[in-house]
Chains A and B, each alone.
Chain A
Amino acid sequence: MTPDSVEASPVVTSGLTKRFRRQVAVDRIDLEVPAGAVYGFLGPNGSGKTTTIRMLLGLISPTAGEISLLGSWMPSAARTVLRRVGSLVEGPAFHPYLSGRANLARLDAADRFSDAHSSRRRIDAALDRVGLLAAADKRYRAYSLGMRQRLAIANSLLMPRDLLVLDEPTNGLDPQGTREVRHLISDLARDGATVLVSSHLLAEVDQICSHVGVMYEGRLVAQSPLSELRADAVQTVRVDTDRTEDAARVLSELGLSEIVTSPGYVTAALGEVAVEKIVPNLVSAYVPVLGFSVLQPSLEDVFVSLTGEGFDVSG
């Protein structure tokens, strides 16, 4: 880890490892979240995402490795750095018999850097921003899961933040709420904050993230700008035709692999073959081309190609 990368990137880890008794939860990961990025932190349940986030926030101490947060070493600089970090860790947690507003007031009162005089105003602004102002005086225990999630996000917005660490922020939200949170994250990023958002919802990450890191069984198996990750993945072509057998033969001769014939169309992995050569070859072989498309790999395809399996819990 060079001082330069520490300077430039709000989150940098090197060789970060956490061992619980015999199990290695996080295994030598080198995370780098560039300034201004919306970094999608992906991985199946149990892959080490939350443990990593807890280490970033100084809640648990690493077995080995180093963490730099906003240019300072964690956990030694926790007292000065964490106030610039808003966080949502492993779901909302509040006092059930206090109202949403009273819960935020308590957390704000515990912050040595917050100003008592602006407390009420900041709390209301944060509640308003997550659409919870109308329910602010209800007891937390009466909140739905979505409202609880919103309150936890409001907590991360009580103070000006340079970095937001959001663990599964849309968990439990309805489609409307999910969209709102997506917009909120985009707004925060546009205003200059760096956002690290963990999720297991690939489509969601696909929509808002500029960078992606993929965890699998405690290791960081991929980390790059989303566009690069996608470019590295295999593109697929689809030919719509009523003579699928002939089409498959032509594609095979051209050097495409993983050819799959289905009624009415053929798909194949593009590989190194030039796209523009495919249709002329099909036509000259008298294969009627009813439709032709190059399919961009979805993040799910990318993910499966990285982890070799679907999005299940890893043990």
Chain B
Amino acid sequence: MSAAELVLIGNPPRARVSTRFLRSELKIIFGRRRNIAGMGVLAVVPVILAVSARLSSPSQGGGPDFISAIAGNGLFVAFAALALELPLFLPLAVSAISGDAVAGEANLGTLRYLLAIPVGRTRLLVIKYLAIVIFAIAATFLVALVGTIMGLALFGGGDMTLLSGTQTSMGDGVWRLALSSLYLGVQFSALGAIGLFISTLTEQPIGATIAVVVVNVLMFILNSISQLGWLHPWLLTHWWTAFGDLLRDPIATESIQRGLITALVYACVFWLAAWARLSTKDVSS
């Protein structure tokens, strides 16, 4: 009889396939006060946007951008909010979560206890990355959802005019919004893979988060330097604004496809880099 059987109910030594660890990870991410506050900030932007658009006089004259289209259909609040949060807020949220993924556990010292359970290092990175992906997609959908609710409440719905000028039904508009959110969620998940990798390099979660933000902003800067045109298609952020193509009729798929492939390559490369780093790392924190 082994020691702890006195206290515990003996289990058959069989590994179970279950989502318990992933669910526990999500509970930590979505239950942490800091993250709830961050999601609150994400959700406030479409509220501010909708309210200020409602209060201001419906001025005509801007280009066919999202904000001036809001007056026509409340659904555009969601699109506009996504466009506004795309350069900083959403990537920042994903940077905070992904930078914390491994570095946060190392910083607390909980990494050594997870590994001693044992949680295999590969499994740890799979679960951590799945949680990052779920967070990235959930955060994007949160912005879209709050935008939709605020827009419909203040401006109403109905048929919408697409960027290409054609009219489409409300249902089709919602469908296009869902696709846009998913597309951006995938893009931010790719950024999350960069974050996961950086998170394996350090024991300072804040440092990791800042590094991910720096990488993100650097990609935006490089993308804005026209002399570096050859580099632009290789930058992850170059494809982010392509979600606007989903508002054309027919949907312009070329950039969307290139964007998805780029995101997938970034995700694979950086997840593998994280794996290469963590699987050989001495955990002395």
Identify the A interface with B (CB < 8 A).
Answer: 54, 57-61, 78-79, 82-87, 89-98, 105-107, 109-116, 118, 121-122, 125-126, 129, 152, 155, 157-162, 164, 188-189, 191-193
Contact = CB atoms under 8 A, between A and B. Distances in A.
B20 A87 contact: no
A90 B9 contact: no
B57 interface: no
Contacts of A112: 15-16, 18, 21, 119, 123
Contacts of A188: 3-4
5 contacts: A57-B115, A114-B16, A118-B9, A152-B113, A160-B3
A158 B11 CA distance: 11
Q: Is chain A's binding surface mostly helix, strand, loop or mixed?
A: loop
B206 to A, nearest CB: 15
A98 B280 CA distance: 30
Contact of B116 (A59, A109, A160, A189): A59
B93 to A, nearest CB: 19
B22 to A, nearest CB: 9
B16 A157 contact: no
Contacts of A96: 108
B62 interface: no
Contacts of A57: 112, 115-116
Contact of B11 (A60, A79, A118, A152): A118
Contacts of B14: 113
B282 to A, nearest CB: 4
Contacts of B23: 109
B8 interface: yes
Given A113-B15, A115-B16, A162-B3, 20 more contacts: A57-B115, A58-B118, A59-B115, A60-B283, A78-B120, A79-B118, A84-B2, A91-B109, A94-B113, A95-B28, A112-B15, A112-B18, A113-B11, A113-B13, A114-B11, A122-B8, A126-B8, A157-B4, A160-B4, A191-B1
Nearest to A60: B282
B55 interface: no
Contact of B24 (A54, A94, A106, A115): A106
Contact of A126 (B7, B20, B28, B118): B7
B205 to A, nearest CB: 13
B108 A59 contact: no
A97 B114 CA distance: 17
A193 B108 contact: no
B149 to A, nearest CB: 30
Is the interface on chain B under 10, 10 to 19, 20 to 34, or 35 or more residues?
35 or more
Closest 5 CB pairs of A and B: A93-B109, A193-B3, A60-B282, A82-B118, A109-B20
Contacts of A93: 108-110, 112-113
Interface string B89-126: 00000000000000000001110111111111001000
B108 A115 contact: no
A93 to B, nearest CB: 3
Nearest to B16: A112
A111 B16 CA distance: 9
Interface in B229-251: none
Q: Is chain B's binding surface mostly helix, strand, loop or mixed?
A: loop
A161 B117 CA distance: 11
Contacts of A129: 7
B115 to A, nearest CB: 6
B7 A125 contact: yes
Contact of A155 (B5, B6, B9, B113): B113
B284 interface: yes
Nearest to A50: B284
A209 to B, nearest CB: 16
Contact of A191 (B3, B32, B113): B3
A192 B3 contact: yes
A267 B13 CA distance: 58
A59 B3 contact: no
Nearest to B115: A59
B283 A83 contact: no
Contact of B120 (A54, A59, A61, A79): A79
B117 A107 contact: yes
Given A96-B108, A191-B1, A191-B2, A160 B8 contact: yes
Contacts of B13: 83, 113
A157 B6 CA distance: 10
A161 B116 contact: no
Contacts of A164: 3
Given A61-B282, A164-B3, A90 B112 contact: yes
Contacts of A111: 117, 119
A97 B32 CA distance: 8
B2 A59 contact: no
A36 B10 CA distance: 20
Contacts of B283: 54, 59-60
B8 A107 contact: no
Given A93-B108, A93-B109, A193-B4, A160 B117 contact: no
A157 B117 CA distance: 11
Contacts of A97: 32-33
Contacts of A85: 116
A198 B28 CA distance: 32
Nearest to A129: B7
Given A113-B11, A125-B7, A129-B7, A94 B110 contact: yes
Contacts of B32: 97
